[in-house]
């Protein structure tokens, strides 16, 4: 019986990309794997869609670099339901199902967590971007799917470019729910802080900043990641966010920024496969490994 399987995807199961560069997913998982093995645990690393592995032969599976699930959501959902009957999931199935759709932001808002102003558009809606802009008086916004990652189908909209995005919006809303948020200028000017927590307690943080003339902070789009020392208020905000979850997640990443009114706001709560930047904080991998040892 294997103690823990670290889950990745078909791309990040490899060490190098096509240009010979070490993939971050591989590197992050390798650091954690070493930490788990140092605790005496038997560990295997597999792509979540591996057809040959018997998932009942591991005590637990740990979601890490499964960074393709939002592109293969239906397939992933079926696999997730099946595997949850065979072994323990970390984080839990209940947590994953809640966190996988950005409607969770409304649950947190109802519990007092400040989020960015957000408008949700139901799957199958026949509204247009022009109608949404006229109804809510928008100027500059960001449009994105409710189930997404790595800025998939994330667009910066202005009145002058609405028409060129109407077709893609019409196609997307036919198949999935979408959300529209006022553009947050501080994310471009300062960046977005990512706070990592284990068992609800703050561990470390990074600041993600976009490259010039880009609004997406992900490294896929040229964004930079640097070590960040958050303020006591930011740490308290992150820990309070975790307290509002229905159950305590083993690991979490709380992404925050200062909104257009200067208030700390929640951008995302990542409880499924967040990048945890062990390559910048290798000791944090040992901390998580010690927690996972009890599983």
- Phi and psi at residue 255, in whole multiples of 5°? -95, 125
Cα separation, 187 vs 275, in Å, equals 19
User: Contact at 8 Å (CB) between 189 and 259?
Assistant: no
* Rounded Cα–Cα distance for residues 146 and 105 (Å): 10
Give the predicted TM-score (pTM) of the model.
Answer: 0.94
The predicted pLDDT at position 221 comes to 60
Q: Of 168, 179, 170, which Cα lies nearest the Cα of 128?
A: 170
How many residues are there in the chain?
295
- Mind listing the pLDDT tens digit for each residue in 72-117? 999 999 999 999 999 999 999 999 999 999 999 999 999 999 998 8
Residues 6+ apart with CB under 8 A from 105: 115, 118, 266, 269
Q: What is the pLDDT of residue 18?
A: 87
Q: Which pair of tokens denotes residue 23?
A: 């993939």
Q: Is the pLDDT of residue 57 over 90?
A: yes
Choice among 53-67, 90-104, 123-137, 238-252 with the minimum mean pLDDT:
123-137
What are 115-154's pLDDT values in tens digits?
A: 988 999 999 999 999 999 988 888 899 999 999 877 778 9
pLDDT at position 214: 67
pLDDT in tens, 166-211: 999 999 999 999 999 999 999 888 999 999 999 999 999 999 988 7
**What does the pLDDT average to over 64-68?**
95
Per-residue pLDDT of 11-29, as tens digits, reads 999 999 888 988 999 999 9
């Amino acid at each position: 019986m294997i103690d823990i399987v670290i889950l990745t995807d078909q791309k990040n199961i490899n060490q190098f990309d096509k240009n010979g560069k070490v993939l971050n997913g591989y590197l992050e998982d390798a650091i954690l794997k070493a930490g788990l093995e140092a605790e005496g645990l038997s560990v295997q690393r597999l792509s979540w869609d591996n057809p040959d592995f018997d998932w009942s032969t591991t005590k637990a599976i740990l979601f890490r670099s499964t960074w393709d699930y939002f592109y293969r959501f239906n397939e992933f959902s079926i696999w997730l339901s099946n595997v949850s009957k065979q072994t323990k999931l970390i984080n839990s199935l209940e947590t994953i199902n809640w966190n996988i759709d950005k409607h969770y932001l409304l649950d947190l808002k109802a519990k007092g967590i400040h989020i960015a102003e957000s408008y949700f558009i139901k799957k199958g809606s026949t509204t247009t971007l022009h109608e949404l802009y006229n109804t809510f008086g928008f100027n500059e916004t960001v449009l994105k799917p409710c189930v997404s990652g790595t800025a998939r189908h994330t667009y910066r909209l202005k009145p002058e470019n609405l028409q060129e995005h109407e077709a893609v919006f019409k196609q997307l809303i036919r198949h999935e729910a979408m959300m529209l948020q006022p553009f947050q200028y501080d994310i471009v000017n300062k960046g977005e802080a990512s706070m990592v927590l284990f068992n609800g307690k703050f561990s470390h943080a990074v600041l993600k900043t976009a490259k010039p003339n880009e609004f997406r902070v992900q490294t896929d789009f040229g964004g930079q990641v640097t070590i960040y020392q958050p303020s006591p208020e930011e740490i308290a905000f992150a820990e309070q966010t975790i307290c509002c979850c229905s159950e305590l997640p083993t690991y979490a990443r709380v992404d925050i920024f200062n909104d257009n009114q200067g208030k700390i706001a929640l951008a995302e709560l990542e409880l499924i496969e967040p990048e945890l930047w062990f390559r910048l904080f290798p000791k944090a991998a040992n901390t998580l490994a010690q927690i996972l040892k009890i599983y």
